[in-house]
Amino acid sequence: MNSLAHEFSWKQLLKQAAACLEDGNYEKTEALYREALCAVSDEFGPNHPHASNIMVKIADCYEEQGRTNDCHAIFRQVHSMVMAFNPTIVSI
């Protein structure tokens, strides 16, 4: 798949996931976000900002379900991803 088609597919997955989240279909939302995450990780690498942005969306999905521990675990993962992508960021 060429880069443009790949980008279109993961962006479409994000749109579908957002619609599912709005409908309260959390299981489908998470599956779509994870599929988009795989596509983005393949395209740009696992620590790319696009990947961390999708992880934040997954954390938001967890938060809406009251899955606070899972949400916090994702945010810890995102922090590690950001630091791996840009280690010059000062951690607070």
pLDDT at 81: 84
Let me know if residue 92 belongs to a domain: no
Report the CATH number at residue 35: 1.25.40.10
Single pTM value for the model: 0.83
> How many separate domains does the chain show?
1
pLDDT tens column, 26-76: 999 999 999 999 999 999 998 889 999 999 999 999 999 999 999 999 999
Q: What is the pLDDT confidence band of residue 3, given thresholds at 50, 70 and 90?
A: low
Asked if residue 18 is part of any domain, the answer here is yes
Q: What is the DSSP letter of 69?
A: H
Question: Is the pLDDT reported for residue 2 higher than 50?
Answer: no
23: containing domain:
3-85
Element (H, E) at 27: helix 26-44
In a domain, 72, yes or no: yes
Residues with Cβ within 8 Å of residue 15, at least 6 apart in sequence: none
